[in-house]
Each structure stands twice: as structure tokens, then as C-alpha cells.
Structure 1
Amino acid sequence: MSEFLAGSPIPYLIVCLAVAVSFFFIGYFSGVRRGIPARGAGPSQFGNDAAILKLVVEHAHEGLVMQDIYGRIEWTNPAYSRITGYTAEEIRGRRPQEFILAPESQVSPEEIETFKFDLTKYQSGFEELIHNRRKNGEYFWNQLTFAVVEGKTLEDSKIIVICRDVTSKVEYMEELEVVRNTLKYQAEHDDLTGIANRAKLSSFLQETVSAANETGRQVGIIHFDLDHFKEINDSHGHSVGDAVLQHAAHVLKSVLGDKGLAARTGGDEFIAVVSEPCSREQMQSLGNRILDGLAKPVKVDSQSLKVSVSVGLVLADGAKSSASELINCADMALYAAKKTGRSRIAWYTEALGAAHRQKRMTMAQLDEDLETGRLTLLLEPQYSFEHRRIIGYEAFACWLHPSRGLVDPVEMLSSQEDVKHIAKIEHFALRRGIAEIKRLRETSTHPFFLSVNLTGASLKDPGFRDAVEELCDENMFARQDIVIELDEKIIRLNESDGLADHLGKISELGCQIALDKFGSGHGGAGQLIHLNADGLKISRLLIAGLRDGTSQQQLVESIIRLAATLGLKTSAVGVDTQEQAEILRKSGCGVIQGEVISKPLTPREAETHIRDFVPQFEMQ
């Protein structure tokens, strides 16, 4: 350092020391702000300013380098030697590019020889981060800050460089970036399948739609789910179900390739966004390849499973559709594929969209009428051959459809998707039915029973039992006077999603159980053995073809005998003629209902009917 002070030109020395002394003044004024008393003005206690500057330069943590305009090093401070491992004598007169650059940053000897600083670029404050290598071969990150000291001529100008070893900071930032990228990946991808999740799908689709708005491109959506996937989980376990989902994701990703984004949106539902679909034929081809890929048996734990899927396709003008509209269209297409038989492809069409909008408006009206109780209760009388009179009524709710007139609202709804609606409708029939049967009892003095048809929507409702008890207590209506009719096709004793496990609720309440629509082909006589039922109701399909001397009559008579053997009461629905009524009476059927007794009645009509009713078939 002393040799440098003795031999360097005074202007350059002043500049170099000025850079170094800046550190001193920064520290000094920082001390003042922290409350360290400032010393009085006057001569320094070190004796002279040169001594102060020398002390600061030699003890600075940052490396200081002075280079000429051609990059040759003219002077360095001790910190630069500590950072690089090179002594001042080893590098004086050399360019840093000759000895300090990491392999990936090295330049040719010709470039080093012809190097010259562009002073317009390296003005005061210009910074650069570069990967360097110390003398011992260790790599480090060097943050360089440049300042230009202009001389009388361009050749006399000097470049002052402050060097800082920021390796630990860069490594920390790299680690932070790795963590950030990992968290971002986890936030945007499905843990089980590794493909994108709903959040990533949403952002990608929005970006795709925005790009399509600018270019006028079309956007394609493929939406599919696995048919009867719940049965796979129930029959083989969730680990097998997970393997099937992973297989489905692999097929989708393989088919899609780099044409867009594959995502699992939840459960067994998958959506692919095709960023640049060429044509409707291309979309159809992708859908077919998904069907074919998943139709091949997948081997899981030595088991060979066949999986089928339903696929909905959408191809739309991105400039005319929003991301949410495209997903809604894909939902409608998928639903159409399932409705038409599953294991197939369905396209979204304008007609499909119009039908969906109409259904949505209808459902909104039904919701409103359910909330306000604007449903109609009808009562269908049930006649007993033994008592020779009407002994009960089947109650059911009807709704005034905007275009179709009075309909059974339950038949309009999906047992999987509209569970809450169905439960509300059935609760209405039960509540109003109890009230109206109580009123008919009071006006006629006959102990009529109430029969209602319920589905799993009500029986699986945790609050069902309490609701029935409350209704019975409020109306002082005996629980055994309520007959719960269950369609034989929904019981399914040997299936996990059947109602067998829920029938105990009815028995515990004391209500009677009747197996409805018996003989329609959905159940079997075996259910009667295991089901704790009180009666069965013969299907109107069997009654419709009932004639003397036919095989239909023999079948009905066999059912009646079987029921009697098991101690079950027998009734029949859809009895519309006197001939049918007479055959049933002779065959031992106990109760009938149908047009031969009366069409379904409003409560007021039922009150009049009970006074005036005279069965014609009993008069013959």
C-alpha cells in the first residue's frame, strides 16, 4: 500500500482514497445518528487525512480495484486479495478476465486483448453479479459496483470497482427459489396423480381464453369421469381406486401430449384444456383415444380391472366464451354422455345448452315453490276387500310445471344430484299427508292409514327419524298407521349403496314397511326373506296385463301365495278395471288401488269421495 501511495499519480490516488473514505464517512455519520457524540472540528486525532484514508482502505471489508480503460489492474486493496486469494503483486498489470472468471464465463484471449471499457455504460453506480473463481479453485459470487473517474483524456480515465463476496446471499436466494418453486408446484398439482389441479386449471384456462381473444383461436375442453368409480373403491379398496385414478391421469396426459393441460379437478373427474385445437375431428380423435386407452384392462395388485369413462367435448370460439362458460358447457356435455348410456362421447351443442338453461329456470321455480310450500298433495284411495271399504290413502306431492302441467317432481330429478330437493318433496308429502289423513278421520270416523313412497334421499337423511317422530307427536298420529313404501330396485340388500342398512330406522319408529312395485323386474323374491317388511305391493306392470286364464294371472297368484306364506299383506296398484279387481279378490289380494276405486284426489275431493263411493265390482 505504501509503495502505491509513493508511486501513484496524485489525482488517481485522491480518487481511490475518496472511494475508500466514503466507507469511513458512512460509518461516521451512522454513529452520529445512533447517538455517538461527534468530535469537534479541527485536525484529526490521527495526525493527517492521508493516515485516516490509508487506515480505512486497508481495513475495508469490500475489495477495491482500480483499472485503466483497457481493464488492466493498477491497484487493489488487501480485502480484494482476501476475497480472490491473489496478492496485489500477482495481478497488477493483468486483466481480471485472465484469472478470475468461472469456466462458463471465460472469454477468448483475443477478446481479452482487445477489451476496452465503454465509459457510457460503466458510469457511477453500475452493478454486475458474476460467477468468479478464487486462486484455490473455489467458486464464489462477486457483486461488482463500477465508478468512472474521468481524466484529462479518455486514455487517462480510470475505473474504480468495489467487489463484494455475496456467495452466501446468492445461495440463500437460490434455496429460497427452490422452496418457492416447490411450494408453487405443490399448490398447482394434484398430490395423487401429479397432473394439474383445479387451481392450475383455472389459471391456465383463463390465460388460454385471453390469448384466444387476441388471436381468434378456438379453445377445446375434454371433460370425463370414470363410470361407477365408487363401486371400484367399495369392492376393491381405496388403494386400488387410487391406482385406477393414476392410470386415468397417465392415459389423459399421454393422449394430450403438449397440446394443452391435463388436470384432475376432484374425485374421479378429469379435464383437459386443448390450447390450439385444429378441428372438431381432432377433438373427436382425442376423445376416442381416451376411451380406447381406458378401455384396456389395468392391472393392480394382481387384479385386472376394466374401467370405462364418459366423455364430454367442447370446441368453442375463445373470443365469445369465458373460462367459466366453457367449463359449464363441458359439464353439460359430460352429463349428456352419462344420460345416453355412459362409456361414450357427447358434444356440447346449442340445443343442449338451451335445454340446460330451461331446466335451470324450471329448477329455480321448483326451489321457490318448495320454500313457500306451493306444492299440491294428492291422495289415492286404497280399498280393502275384507272390510269392503276404503281403509287408507297413498299421499304424494305434485307440482305445477310451467309448461307440462301437474307432474310428479321427483321423477324430474336425479337421485344422485338432487337429493336435497327430493328429501324436501317427500317430507312435504309426509307432513301434509299426516295432516290431511287426520282431518279425513275426523270427518268420516274411519281409522285411515297413510301410505307414502320414500327414497334413499329421506331414509339416509340423519334427521329423518326425528322429523317423523315430531310430526306424529304434533298430530297425535300413531306411527304404526304410517306405511313406508320402498321401490324394490333401490333396496339392493347386497350392495353397499342400497337402503338395507337404513331400514332399521323405520322399524325402530314403529312404521310399517311395504315393498313397492314388486314384480317389475328390479328385485326378486329373495329380498322378501331378508327384508323385515310388513307387506308388498304388486307392480302395475303385472296388473296391466292381468286377464283370466293368462300366465300373467298365474304369476300374480304365485306372488300372493308367496306373500301369504311369509306373513305379508298384499296390495296391488294400477287396478283400473272391474275384471282386474275381481281376479285379485279371488286370488286373495287384500287391498287394491287404481281408477276402479278412484283417480288421485285432492284432500277436498277425497272428503266428498269417501261419502259417495260405492264399488261397482262388489255389486255384481
Structure 2
Amino acid sequence: MGLEAKGHICAIENAADQKPADARLRDAEAALQADTNWAQVTLNSIGDAVVTTDLECRVTYLNRVAERLTGWSLSDALGRPLAQVFKIVDGQTLKTACNPAQRAMEENRTVGLAMDCVLIRQDGSQLDIEDSAAPIHDSDGCIKGAVIVFHDACQSPTQSSKLAYLAQHDALTGLPNRVLLSERVSRAIGLAKRHQHKVALIYIDLDAFKPINDSLGHAVGDCLLQAVAVRLIECIRDTDTVCRQGGDEFVVLLSEIEKPQDAARFAEKILGALAAPYQIGSHELYITASIGISIYPDHGTDELTLLNNADTAMYQAKSSGCNYYQLFKADMNDLRDHHRHIESQLHQALKEEALFLDFQPRVDVATGHLIGAEALVRWRNPTAGLMTPMAFLPVAEASGLIVPIGHWVLREVCQRLQSWRADGIEIVPIAVNISAIELRDITLPVRIAQILAETGLDAHFLELEITESNLLHNQIDASTSTLVELSHLGIRIAIDDFGAGNASFKYFKCFPIDTVNIASCFIHDMLDKQENAVFIKALISFGQNLSLRVIAKGVENQEQLELLKLQACDGAQGFLFSKPLSTADFCVLLRADQPEWQR
């Protein structure tokens, strides 16, 4: 059968023999040096599948295990190329793997098979294999062949251990997965029952991870998730567990706490750790999180209930804004069910184009002339009727629907303005609010440029409003870059709710701002006390000293307007002039030679 020492050997082990690879190779080599009959007996008795080839890599022998595992009989395999009988591919790419026999001969040394190697059997079925190969020498030391030892990887203790690990851990971050978390939560609850302490689950969802992942690519997104995992591990004790729940969601198990405030302190620590900047390649990224907390036995006595309640609390935190945590309360389930219902209806509203816009005019304080308007998105809910923006926009932000809604608003405003202009109507700039999530999307300038190109609208008729708090919750470098690109397009940039946030004035040097809108809360209080009016004047002076246009929002009476005139405010918006108008009514206003409030 050609067993003399002039061939290559491929050996595939099944469960019968678990010797180290080097030992199995030595056994096979020793058998080849014996006489033919003894070699055949030896090679058929070991737990490895053995294939030998000549110097041209043609098969000269298969033992019984090799016949069984490859699916080839010895008689059919003899003389065939090794690559035909012993066809191996990379398990990930399915590309043909390197010929181990040829490599062993060329390098005159023992070599290992590539990781994740898969044997394609004669019937086309696949078998995961692993191990190594070595050259065979004659008595004069000349290479006459090679020995390759490989085995059914599923029967390997190493592989079994690897598979067990993978079954309980996340492949990307190496963190425990939901399977292992479930085991540890059950164990923690059992110990808590015996020792009368509490257990906490902290459910973490990254705010606006999707725009980063979509705009910068999945490779950057994966690196960011890995960096988040490292920071979470650094926030907990050795007895606690961090699990990747899936996507951009993580769960922390605090195996032993005394009171809910202990979990709240961990949540605050996590929020602080995650908010620090991340350096991913050339990108400096910022990301915040929304956190929900449930406590055993206060909020549930089993793993599923605790997890669902922590998730519910997280959803409530996200609805409240970015970078918050919430402890579970019983009424949150009803609120979450309501929000999910709203979310489902919003999806349908977007499909059916059921949203619409109102426009609230802005006037020149000195002359009363119409100088612009703010676009306000509206929704007539099929069951609840006309809903205020505060009733559905927080749900849209929490669910990510704010991005397609924002895109629709931008396109609708641009189309409407250009349509009026085409009809010969003199148009004015329209302001559109941009959410924190949209501002994080570095493709925003490209998308708006495309809308402007498709509608034909001049860019200076579009103004984008970003609240002071949203601006600073985003990564400063990325926000600056995005706003600079938008400004270069000719789009106006406004800071909304100016004065109500906690911005450092130094940031106003960084951003290409054209307008600041004084928050309406200051206008409401400006007549109550002298210091309130002084503060308004200081805000107006600050903006104008930076060559910014200053708009007062929420003007409701003539006394407020007269004081704003004295303080030389540029523009105003509020019920004193007009409530938000429908598209048709605003068009009538644009056509009017003199607005009604000027008469």
C-alpha cells in the first residue's frame, strides 16, 4: 500500500486519543519506519485519521479513521491529489486553505493547520478540524514526505472549552452574554434570599450610538463598544458582572447592595465614566447613556421581571433626555406601554405622511416687519387627536425616530419655501430645530446640501436652531466641524433657549453662530423685577457685541415688547404677534403687504 517512508501523512483524531499533537506526530512517524504490516496495524489502531501522499502530494494511504472522516475509501483515494481527498477551507471565508503537507516539506519543519480549518468531506458535508503536520525523512535524512495530524475539533478538550466560553460570552467585547448573566442573576438572588441583602440590575443604553455607527462605519462603532465595555468593567467590583445585552445595550449586575441608593451611586459613576471623550483612531468621540435600575426584591423576585423593569426604567430615562438614570417605579410600565403605542403610531404617520407643519412668525422689534418664522412639526394622532410636540417628540428622540422626522421637516420646509417663491411670493428665512441626535450625525451637512440641491432653495433661507444644552452634550469638535460645514453652505445657525443652559461663553468663539434666541422663560419674568430686565439687557448686549442677531421668544404683551425696544433687541416671536399658523395661513401672511399686527 505504499507505506514505506516516502509519503506524507495526514492524521485526523476523533475522541479516542487526546495525546498532544507532537506525541501523535511521533507515533505516526514511528509507524512509518516499521515494516509494512506492523505500520498498517499501528496506523489503523490509533485514534487519528491518517493519510499519506508521495512527494507530488498524491495520496498513497488512508487508515480506517481517515476513510470514515473524509468519506473516501482507500481504493478510491489512491493516486488522487491530496487537495481532492483532503479538501480544507477557512471556516470564516470558505477560501481554500494552505496545503499543510506541501508547507511542511518546503519548510522542513512541523507546522500547524490554520485556525478555523474546515474539512470538506466527499459528500460535501463539513467537519471542523485542527492540529499539525511534519516532514518525514528517510534514513539518510532526506525529505520523503510529511505527516499531518489533525482531528475532529469538536472532540477536542480545547475546542470544547472554547465553545463553552463562546456560548457564554460576547464575541466582540468578551463580556458575559445574556446566558451567563441569567445564571449569575439566579445565583445572586439565591444568595440574597439567604443573607437578606439586595441585588440590583443596571440596564444601560448608549444615547445616539446609531448615528456614530452609521456615519463613521461599523469598525469605529465596534471599537467604541469595546472601549465602553472596558470603562464599565472599571466601574464595578470583582463580585459584580457586566454583560453585553446586544447592540449598544449593556447590563450590570450588582450582586450585593444594602439599599437602592447604592445602585444609584454606581449609575452616576457609570454615566461619568462613559461621558469622557473616546479616541477611536483619528476620531474623538463623545457618547452618553440612559440607565434604568431595578432592585431585588423591591421590583421583582426573578431575573426576567427584574430585567424587564430595569429596561422600562431605562426607557423612561431616555425619554427624559440624555445622560440620565431612573430607578424603576410601578407606574412606569403603563407609561412605557403608552410610549410604545405612540412610537408605533409615529412609524405609521411617517409612512403615511401624516405629519404637518405650522409656522410662527418673527418680527423686527423696531419696525414690526416680518423677518422670518419658526417651523413647528405637528401631528394629528388618529386616536388622540392633535398632539402637542412635547407629547410625541420625546418618544421620537428615545426611539431614534427623531432622525427621519427631522429629515422630513427639513425637506418639507425647503420644498414649501421654494414653491412659494416660484409663485412669486417674497419669502423669509425659516428656522428648523435640530435635535442632539441629528447634530451627532456627521453626514448632516451632506444630507441638507442634497435637499437644497433637489429643491433649488437658496441656503440663506434656511436657519438651523440648536439648543444650548444639546450643543454641549455633543462632542465639541464634531459639533464645530458639522456647524462649520453647514455655515459654509450658507445656512444660518442659531442657538436656541439662550441663557437657559450652562454653556461656557468660551464655546461661542468655537461655533459659527449667526443668531441667539433668548429663552422664553426670561421674557416671561422680565417685568417682575428690575434685575430680570437687567439680565435680559446683558444677554442682548452679549449677543450683539459678538455681531449676532438676538431674537426674544415668548413675547406675549405690549409691555414686554416696549422694554425689548428700549434694550435694542433685534427680533421677537410670540403670541403678541401671532400664534403658530397653518401653511395656508402663513402663505396669506407672506402675501400681505402689511401684517395685521402692524395696523
In structure 1, what is the Cα distance between the partners aligned to 2:530 and 2:185? Answer: 66
Cα 1:494–1:206 change in 2 (3 A) is: closer
Deviation, 1:189, is: 3.2
Query: Residue in 2 aligned with 1:456?
Result: 436
In structure 1, what is the Cα distance between the partners aligned to 2:154 and 2:477? Answer: 52
Deviation, 1:403, is: 3.2
Cα 1:496–1:405 change in 2 (3 A) is: same
On the 8 A contact 1:227/1:310 being kept in 2, the answer is no
1:245 to 223, 226, 232: 232
SS at structure 2 position matched to 1:477:
coil
1:512 aligns with 2:492: yes
Q: Letter of the aligned partner of 2:458 in structure 1? A: A
Deviation, 1:360, is: 0.7
Cα 1:380–1:524 change in 2 (3 A) is: farther
On the 8 A contact 2:467/2:497 being kept in 1, the answer is yes
2:357 to 374, 377, 391: 377
2:294 to 312, 337, 342: 312
Superposed CA offset, 1:411-434 (max 9, x none): 632687433x11222222222222
Matches within 5 A, 1:519-530: 519-530=499-510
Q: State the TM-score, normalized to the length of structure 2.
A: 0.56
In structure 2, what is the Cα distance between the partners aligned to 1:513 and 1:413? Answer: 23
Query: Residue in 2 aligned with 1:405?
Result: 386
Q: State the TM-score, normalized to the length of structure 1.
A: 0.55
Deviation, 1:529, is: 2.6
Deviation, 1:397, is: 0.8
On the 8 A contact 2:294/2:328 being kept in 1, the answer is yes
Deviation, 1:181, is: 2.4
Q: Letter of the aligned partner of 2:409 in structure 1? A: A
In structure 2, what is the Cα distance between the partners aligned to 1:533 and 1:326? Answer: 46
In structure 2, what is the Cα distance between the partners aligned to 1:439 and 1:530? Answer: 35
RMSD after superposition: 4.9
Query: Residue in 2 aligned with 1:393?
Result: 373
In structure 1, what is the Cα distance between the partners aligned to 2:440 and 2:153? Answer: 55
On the 8 A contact 2:292/2:313 being kept in 1, the answer is no
1:196 aligns with 2:176: yes
On the 8 A contact 1:484/1:513 being kept in 2, the answer is yes
Query: Residue in 2 aligned with 1:489?
Result: 469
Cα 1:193–1:249 change in 2 (3 A) is: farther
1:418 aligns with 2:399: yes
Deviation, 1:195, is: 6.5
On the 8 A contact 1:513/1:533 being kept in 2, the answer is yes
In structure 1, what is the Cα distance between the partners aligned to 2:595 and 2:154? Answer: 93
1:476 aligns with 2:456: yes
Q: Letter of the aligned partner of 1:332 in structure 2? A: T
On the 8 A contact 1:536/1:570 being kept in 2, the answer is yes
In structure 2, what is the Cα distance between the partners aligned to 1:174 and 1:457? Answer: 46
On the 8 A contact 2:173/2:226 being kept in 1, the answer is no
2:343 to 355, 360, 363: 363
In structure 1, what is the Cα distance between the partners aligned to 2:180 and 2:186? Answer: 11
Deviation, 1:194, is: 7.4
1:531 to 475, 495, 511: 511
Q: Letter of the aligned partner of 1:532 in structure 2? A: P
Matches within 5 A, 1:424-439: 424-439=404-419
1:578 aligns with 2:558: yes
Higher relative contact order, structure no. (Cα contacts within 8 Å, ≥ 6 residues apart) = 2
Query: Residue in 1 aligned with 2:571?
Result: 591
In structure 2, what is the Cα distance between the partners aligned to 1:438 and 1:415? Answer: 28
On the 8 A contact 1:205/1:273 being kept in 2, the answer is no
Structure with higher Rg: it is 1
On the 8 A contact 1:546/1:553 being kept in 2, the answer is yes
Deviation, 1:379, is: 0.5
Query: Residue in 2 aligned with 1:222?
Result: 201
SS at structure 2 position matched to 1:437:
helix
In structure 2, what is the Cα distance between the partners aligned to 1:500 and 1:522? Answer: 18
In structure 1, what is the Cα distance between the partners aligned to 2:465 and 2:474? Answer: 20
Q: Letter of the aligned partner of 1:466 in structure 2? A: V
Deviation, 1:367, is: 0.8
SS at structure 2 position matched to 1:575:
coil
Cα 1:185–1:362 change in 2 (3 A) is: same
1:182 to 141, 162, 185: 162
1:269 aligns with 2:256: no
Deviation, 1:469, is: 2.5
On the 8 A contact 2:202/2:310 being kept in 1, the answer is yes
In structure 2, what is the Cα distance between the partners aligned to 1:385 and 1:344? Answer: 42
On the 8 A contact 1:314/1:333 being kept in 2, the answer is no
Q: Letter of the aligned partner of 2:559 in structure 1? A: E
In structure 1, what is the Cα distance between the partners aligned to 2:426 and 2:551? Answer: 20
Query: Residue in 2 aligned with 1:121?
Result: none
Matches within 5 A, 1:5-20: none
1:346 to 327, 331, 334: 327
SS at structure 2 position matched to 1:448:
coil
Superposed CA offset, 1:111-149 (max 9, x none): xxxxxxxxxxxxxxxxxxxxxxxxxxxxxxxxxxxxxxx
Q: Letter of the aligned partner of 1:311 in structure 2? A: I
Cα 1:392–1:410 change in 2 (3 A) is: farther
Deviation, 1:243, is: 5.5
Q: Letter of the aligned partner of 2:399 in structure 1? A: D
In structure 2, what is the Cα distance between the partners aligned to 1:358 and 1:582? Answer: 44
Query: Residue in 2 aligned with 1:92?
Result: none
SS at structure 2 position matched to 1:424:
helix
Q: Letter of the aligned partner of 2:540 in structure 1? A: I
How many residue pairs are counted as aligned between the two chains? Answer: 411
Percent sequence identity over aligned pairs: 21
On the 8 A contact 1:192/1:242 being kept in 2, the answer is no
Q: Letter of the aligned partner of 2:294 in structure 1? A: G
Q: Letter of the aligned partner of 1:222 in structure 2? A: L
Superposed CA offset, 1:86-116 (max 9, x none): xxxxxxxxxxxxxxxxxxxxxxxxxxxxxxx
In structure 2, what is the Cα distance between the partners aligned to 1:549 and 1:384? Answer: 25
- 5+ residue gaps in structure 2? 1-40, 45-148, 188-197, 210-223, 274-288
Cα 1:340–1:313 change in 2 (3 A) is: farther
Deviation, 1:381, is: 0.9
On the 8 A contact 1:515/1:533 being kept in 2, the answer is yes
2:580 to 600, 604, 619: 600
On the 8 A contact 2:433/2:466 being kept in 1, the answer is yes
Deviation, 1:585, is: 2.2
In structure 2, what is the Cα distance between the partners aligned to 1:192 and 1:466? Answer: 31
